[in-house]
Structure 1
Amino acid sequence: MATYGLSTKNGVEVAVDEFNKNGGINGKPIQLISEDTRGDQTEAANAASKLIEQDKVSAIVGGVISSETMTAGPITEDAKIVMISSSSTAVGVPEIGDYVFRNCLSDEVQAVQLAEYAVEELGLKKFAVMFTNNDYGLSLKEAFEKKAKKLAEVTAIETYNDGEKDFRAQLTKIKGTSPDALYIAGYYTEAAKIAQQAKDQGLDVNILGADGFYSPVLLELGGDAVEGSVFTAGFFTDDPSEKAQNFVKAYTEKFNAEPDMFAAQAYDAAMILLTALKNANGAGGEAHQQEMLKIKDFPGITGSTSFTPIGDAVKDIIILKVENGKFTKLR
């Protein structure tokens, strides 16, 4: 099982434990049945069918990756079983059907909210963009570029590949356009190296990014060069709120590891699903689906969540900053 799959399963387990401790539904505990889809679409379809036909489940948390949700979704839709994904960020997931929900934000929403924050709160006016050449980098780049062009100016756009180590050619071109910020649509390893090489070349810019930045490795590799970086995230491990810290404590005690964003989003997905099921008096199907749509400002550890009429998440993204070599929360 991939790490994010395991994190998702663990997050759901913590939610079920807590829910059952608080009395379950009408005094009856919730039973959790897990299936490993191995990141495979066929396995995901088989798992959904098994859970519905053999195990007679009331609801499903999953899939972890968008392609699995796309295959399992139509099966749960036909059976009128509510399914919520905590990490399928692809376009088109909520459109699968009335019984398919998600409580994570799409790549587009992250990029748009950061562009707005950068202009309105940080007062930045000229942006350069560097993006990794894959679906993730491309969707972030397109959304950020579009929003930044509306609100301010985009001076340069350069691409790179994951695993690349020398970014001097792209940074030289960017430096020539005098931006005041550089949005890096990619992951922490390359982002740290880009920030260092920008600093070495005397390119004095605000470094901006997305949830691919959120790893201690960014701080280890980037050092001084990533100080002041601002990026979007789905969860903040050091969130001082009592709810978030209780989750971190319960998770760490149970699994002897710190929870990541996947675990936190899965915990919230399960809690939303179970709250709606409880409000439907344990009845699945249409009654459960209607209660899901009534969820408004659910106070989760990854932020307050509501749903659009098609089951997409409405929530504010978390914005983090590197300050004194640590991650701190801006909003």
Structure 2
Amino acid sequence: MRRRSLGAILAAAVLSVAPPAAAQTTIKLGLLTSMTGPAASTGEDQRRAAALAVDEINAAGGVPVKEANAKLKLQLVIGDDQTSREGAVSAVTRLLVEDKVQVVFGGLGSAFGMAALPQIREHAVPYVPTPSTPLFTRTPEMGPDPTKSMVFHYQATGLMQGATIADFLVKEIKPRMAASRPLRIAWMYQDSPFGAELYRGFAERVKDASLAIETVAAERFKVGETDYRSLLTKIKGLNPDVLIPQGFRGETVAAVQQAVVDVGFDLKKTHIGPVCACADDPLYYKDLGKIGQGTTILSLYSTYAMPKGAGFAKWATFRKAYQDKYGTLPGLLGVSAYDVVHIAARAIERAGSLDRKKIIEALSKLEMDQMVLAVQGGKIRFDPKYREAAFVLFVQQMAWDDNVKELRPTIVWPAELAETKYKQP
């Protein structure tokens, strides 16, 4: 028999008593959002809201995980997409390869989330995006896409929002501005999946429902563009009854201000809105100023208003907790991130595991009481065909509040949620 060296014997002895690999003691949730770049303030809202949810769950003891035989604390890991496609790819790669998160969630821009999607699919990680494009779970033809089975979309899609805008305009604005003829609509929207799907949802609803609407313009602008005066001048020459500017918060503020102040749109002759729900943020009401009086915004969460009905009971509690912690109020995308942390925690608890495949299966079967955002039927679930949640949408109208020197919204549609009726400027 060959004799073993002393070194080999010692090495074997060390290996025989080496401790097993340490079990994971936290659940890592990767927030993919914009912490730098033009959308950084909204990304900070998402970070704050997600951190609030993490703190709440951890304060209650964490998430019970059967396979760990313990309650595990949540750990929030931030991936900064830098408000760019390239930044999103780098950030999601770090979240997946270096941080090894169990779930990726959040986001502001559809284009950035879509840029990260190939990495999500390659690693088969559960992904709960909060931008609006339905392409997160659908094909370009808007059919179901089983290759994206790890994606669960928690946001009102552009298709949902665009269709709702058409419904509001034909029911509330047309009788006031074009009772005996088609309502003339001019769109200007961000040249991105986000903007394209909002417009597509609108156009499809007009066609499918044979609405008395004539679209006189459908103009696009680049992400981050700040000067819209040439485009607005072109649109004004078409004499639209309605101007619909669709972009991120800062883009929307600039477009509305330039339309009224620089180009001379008269709100008595041309209604402006509804603008995107993504603009519903404290800075929107502050930055837009008096010229925003009479304009409308589509929403599924309001920074200040309160819809009628029991489905919105959690809003006041959430607003207070957020304001107490951060000294300001949350916007829609922050609220979305807050909800998704709770959704991820519930799915992991149901899965009883940190295994990504088991978490995906749990998300596919999830049914839980709504959190802050109101969903159809009061239960959060992702439909089996498109893996989308269905939200309650409403329209708010802006009025100037002399007490706070800012705009404040009032819910005007639909009637079952409205605080008051729409008022023609």
TM-score range, shorter chain: 0.7 to 0.9
Which residue among 365, 370, 384 is the counterpart of 1:299?
A: 370
Shift of 1:111: 1.3
Query: Counterpart of 1:170?
Result: 235
What corresponds to 2:309 in structure 1?
none
Rounded Cα–Cα distance in structure 1 between residues aligned with 2:77 and 2:372 = 24
Q: Which runs of 5+ in 1 are unaligned?
A: none
Where does the alignment leave 5 or more consecutive residues of structure 2 unmatched? 1-34, 65-70, 139-146, 176-181, 307-311, 401-406, 418-425
Shift of 1:199: 1.9
CA shift in 2, pair 1:127/1:23, >3 Å:
farther
Q: TM-score when scaled to structure 1?
A: 0.81
Aligned pairs for 1:10-159 (under 5 A) are 10-26=48-64, 27-41=71-85, 43-87=87-131, 89-95=132-138, 97-120=148-171, 124=175, 126-132=183-189, 134-135=191-192, 137-149=195-207, 150-154=210-214, 156-157=216-217, 159=219
Distance 1:232 1:318 in 2: 6
Q: What per-residue deviation string (whole Å, max 9, x for no partner) do you get for residues 62-96 of structure 1?
A: 45433443343333334332111122x23421246
The Cα of 1:259 is off from its aligned counterpart by 1.7
The separation in 2 between residues aligned to 1:172 and 1:160, in whole angstroms, is 17
Offset at 1:253? Answer: 2.9
1:213 Cα deviation from its structure 2 partner: 5.5
> Structure 1's 112 and 274: CA in aligned 2 closer, same or farther, altered over 3 A?
same
Deviation digits for residues 79-132 of structure 1 (CA, Å, limit 9, x no counterpart)? 332111122x23421246111222112323211111123324566451321414
CA offsets per residue over residues 288-307 of structure 1, 9 Å max, x none?
A: 21221223474132322432
Match of 2:265 in 1: 198
Moved more, 295-304 or 16-25: 295-304
Give the letter aligned to residue 198 of structure 1: F
Q: Pick which of 72-81 and 105-114 moved more.
A: 72-81
Following superposition, the deviation at residue 182 of structure 1 comes to 4.1
Task: Work out whether residues 184 and 216 of structure 2, in 8 Å CA contact, stay in contact via their aligned partners in 1.
Answer: yes
Answer yes or no: is the 8 Å Cα contact 2:305–2:409 preserved in 1.
no
Structure-2 separation of matches of 1:208 and 1:67? 23
Q: Which amino acid aligns with 1:183?
A: I
Q: Distance in 1 between matches of 2:237 and 2:128?
A: 45
Matched-pair contact (CA < 8 Å) for 1:277–1:291: yes
Query: Structure 1 residues 68, 129: CA separation in 2 closer, same or farther (over 3 Å shift)?
Result: closer
Counterpart selection for 2:342 from 271, 282, 291: 271
TM-score when normalising by structure 2: 0.65
Change (3 A) 1:193 1:64: closer
| Rounded Cα–Cα distance in structure 2 between residues aligned with 1:195 and 1:126 | 20
Structure 1 residues 313-324: aligned runs within 5 Å: 313-323=389-399
Question: What is the CA deviation profile of residues 213-242 of structure 1, one whole-angstrom value per residue up to 9, with x for unaligned ones?
Answer: 64115651515xx32x33213421124444
Counterparts of 1:57 and 1:141 in 2: how far apart (Å)? 35
- The residue identity in structure 2 corresponding to 1:140 is L
Give the C-alpha shift of residue 170 in structure 1. 3.2
1:159 & 1:70 partners in 2: Cα distance?
Answer: 23
Q: Find the residue that maps to 1:28 and give its secondary structure.
A: strand
8 Å Cα contact 2:137-2:152 kept in structure 1: yes
Amino acid paired to 1:308: D
**Aligned positions, number:** 321
Query: What letter is aligned with 2:153?
Result: R
Name the counterpart of 1:326: 408
Task: From 244, 255, 258, give the equivalent of 1:183.
Answer: 244
CA contact (8 A) 1:128 1:174 kept: no
Moved more, 40-49 or 73-82: 40-49
Residue type matched to 2:244 in 1? Y
Q: Kindly name which structure, 1 or 2, has the bigger radius of gyration based on alpha carbons.
A: 2
Letter in 1 for 2:381: S
Q: Which one scores higher on RCO, CA 8 angstroms, separation ≥ 6?
A: 1
On the 8 A contact 2:275/2:298 being kept in 1, the answer is yes
Looking at structure 2, the residues matched to 107 and 271 of structure 1 have their Cα atoms a distance apart, in angstroms, of 24
- Secondary structure of the corresponding residue to residue 312 of structure 1: coil
Shift of the 94–123 alpha-carbon distance from structure 1 to 2, 3 Å rule, reads: same
Structure 1: distance between partners of 2:73 and 2:185: 53
Match of 1:92, SS state, is helix
Residues 175-254 of structure 1 mapped to structure 2, 5 A cutoff:
179=241, 181-186=242-247, 187-195=252-260, 197-199=264-266, 204-211=269-276, 214=280, 215-217=284-286, 219-223=288-292, 226-227=293-294, 229-240=295-306, 241-254=312-325
| Other structure's SS at 2:397 match | strand
Does structure 2 retain, via aligned residues, the 8 Å contact 1:111–1:143?
yes
Question: Are 1:84 and 1:101, in contact at CA under 8 Å, matched by a contact in 2?
Answer: yes
